[in-house]
Each structure stands twice: as structure tokens, then as C-alpha cells.
Amino acid sequence: MNKLVFHIDEAQIPSTDTANTTHVYLYGARPPRSGAASIGGKLVLAVRRLGVVIEPKAFDFLSIALAVVAADTFVSRETFSANGWTREFTLNIPLARPEVWQDVATDMERALNFLSGDRWTLSFRGDGMDPPNREAVLRHYRSHIATGSADCTCLFSGGLDSLIGARQLADEGRTPLLVSHSYRGDQSYQKYLAPRLGKTLPRFAANANPVFSGHNKSDTSMRTRSLGFLAYGVVAANAVLAKKSSVTAVDLFVPENGFIALNAPLTRRRVGSHSTRTTHPSFLSQIQFVLDKVGLGVRLQNRYRHMTKGEMLCEILPNEVVAHAAVNTVSCGKWKRKSMQCGHCVPCLIRRAAFAKAGVEDTTAYQFPDLRELWDRPDIRDDVMAMLVATGRADRGLRQRAIASGPLPFDPVERENWFGVHKRGLEEVAAYLKTQGFGT
């Protein structure tokens, strides 16, 4: 059992460690001592820039998300899991309104179990941080975001799907407040793409910046990063809602193609570690249930859940600005290791297939532009081989594979559409692989 205790006052962090317990300075700039950790040091300032006082329960959701991201980061699966994958967490989190969240603790635990494949236990106490008050917000008026101009919010990562999602909202006359998980590498893509969305849009950017002081092997799978991203979106949506007295809920758009949102395992051995559930319909519906139960007026929307990446790109073309910007997005799951998109991981293969379907020349500088070079590289050809296996299968058992990563909605039309996008996604990648000389 890995226990993490969070504090908003560094003076409350014990001077010595206890067995199996990590103390984390929540919203702290840096760990106060060796063996401790910190997360969210610049987030309070980022929230002030929204220019409004958000609800305490929205800020509490951010605190919970940061605690989860910290645990996922600081506790290595390799070291602290009994089976090489599943870890057990107990988090003690200070909140401004703990009684509100105590009623949904079990629901949050269930959603987290599904998201990361771990076992989570959450407990809340009442010495948490309130959101920045009106005086604190006004002190930073020179850096305020134009929150009042927005009518919705949209996650904006610097990826192809988020480019299309934000651009289509702008083309429809909407004004989304863009929400960015602004890691250092992501910032350059986000800053490049933002001026190419058809009009100037306000943007909220934040970085959790988890830091551990001392000897520690951080986990690299980071399957809960999406919860932090959603929490930024919830805070931003709550700020928009505060500016709109005539509405009771604000849309938070989560643009992700259905094939990768479903992310059905390509082979039987990929059900665990290779199957992320960032935007899986089951996870999003569980988070929506929590938001509704605590009374946060945020509607999670994925308008592309029934479309492949190629279909998304085809829908927004012809548009020369978007087509040029599209090849300057990032899709690779490994690009941060070498600041270059690899070209052979599953997200890269789906990206390359999308460009091929839309007839857009893919000028991305991939580390391995020629996939045939991978035949002599058993250390890195696994994703291509798995995709060849998945696309080479007959339709028999296709539906069972589609639900292997998690339950689908019971609504028959919605369910059929998820089965459909899974099938077409495989076909899209198969068609691309054939053009590269791979028989499937």
C-alpha cells in the first residue's frame, strides 16, 4: 500500500519519513525537504488569471486531480506493484469543502481504478485551500484572460484532434476558452497552432510540475494525466459559467477521434499497459456523473467520438491553413524522449493513416519515416507488428475486441456507432500500411 498525505502548509510536513508514506506539498513551489514532493506550485497564479472567483468545489476537483497525478508520478509501477502493473494507493487530501466530495469518493475511486488500472482509496479532510478570492484575482488584472468573451471551453493540447476541434468551433461562430496542459515541450506546438484557428481565442495554460526531492524513480506511464487536463477544463468552464448568469452549464469539449478514444487492445497481451483510457466513453461518463452529483455545471462533450482521425481531417478540408497546420501538430506517444515523433508507435500510425486518407502530404519529420526499416529492429517494431495483427484479422470477434478495454454505452445507437468507428479505424490504418508495402 502506497500512502500519500498532502499538505497546503509546508510547516505541517513532518521532518522525517514514515514507512510507505510520501508527504506532498500541494500548490507548493518545491519540496521542503529530501524525501518529500510538491505539485501545482504555479497553478494558483494560473487560476487568478481567469479573472473571476471560481467555486470552491471546482478548485477542490483540481486539488483531487493534482493529488492523483502526484501519486501516479511518484510511485513507480515497476517497483511498487505486486504484478508489475497494479499499484494500491491511499490518498489523504485537504479540501475546502470535504463534505461535498465525501459523497462521491467511491465514485471517484471507481473512475480512477478504470483509468489507471490501479486500486485507489481517497480520504478528504477540511484544511484545504480555498480558490483565490476577489482581492487576489484583482491584483493580477493586467494578466487576466478574456474569460468573459468565451461561450464554452475546449481542451487544446497541440495535437491534430485538438486543432480540428478548436478550429471547427471557431468556424461555427463559437468562442471557446482553450485549455492547455502546458508542459515545456507542448507549449511550442500550442503557441504555433493558436493563431491558426480562424480568430483570436482566449487560452488558459497550466502546468502541474510534479517534483520529488531525493532518490525516486518516477513512473512514465502517467495514465492519470488526463484527469489533470480535465480538471483544468472544469476550472476554466466554471470561470466561464461565473461570467454567464443566464446559463446553468458550460460545455467542455474534449476533441478526440473515436478510434483512439476507444483504444481497443490490438492484441490480447495489450489489455493492460498498452491500452490507455484517457477519453474512453466509460471514463468520461463516470467523471460526468461525479460532476453532476456535486453540482458543477460542466458538460463533457466529445463530438468526434464516432469518427476516425482521417474522417475528422477530411471533414475540415479543403482548408490550406488547417492542412499546413495539421502536419505541425504532435501525435507521438514518445516524442518527448528525443523531441521528435517516432513514426512507428500506435498514435503515429493512426496519424499517418489519417493524412493518407485525407490526401494531405505528411511532411512530419519522423525518426523512422520508412516503416520497412523496422523489420530489423525487434526492440521497436512491436507496435507495427501488433497493428498488422489487429488489421489482418477477420471481422469475427471484432465487437468483443472493441469492448475489451471497457464497457460501452447501453444505448443501441450509441453502441453501434462505437463498434463502427473501431472497425473503420482499423480499416484506415490497414489501407495506409498497404501503401507502405505491408500486406494485411
- DSSP assignment of 268-334 equals GGGSSTT---TT-HHHHHHHHHHHHHHT--EEEE-TTTTS-HHHHHHHH-S-HHHHHHHTTS---SS
Per-residue pLDDT of the chain (440 residues; tens, 9 = 90+): 699 999 999 999 999 888 889 999 999 999 999 999 999 999 999 999 999 999 999 999 999 999 999 999 998 876 666 566 789 999 999 999 999 999 999 999 999 999 998 999 999 999 999 999 999 999 988 999 999 999 999 999 999 999 999 999 999 999 999 999 887 667 889 999 999 999 999 999 999 999 999 876 565 556 788 899 999 999 999 999 999 988 999 999 999 999 999 999 888 765 544 457 889 999 999 999 999 999 999 999 999 999 999 999 999 998 889 999 999 999 997 776 678 999 999 999 999 999 999 999 999 999 999 999 988 898 889 999 999 999 888 777 899 989 998 999 999 999 999 999 999 999 999 999 999 988 65
Cβ distance 252 to 153 under 8 Å? Answer: yes
| Whole-Å CA distances, 369 to 152, 153, 161, 350, 364 | 38, 35, 21, 14, 9
Is 164 strand, coil or helix?
helix
What are the sequence ranges of the domains in the chain? 1-42+52-144, 299-435
pTM over 0.85: yes
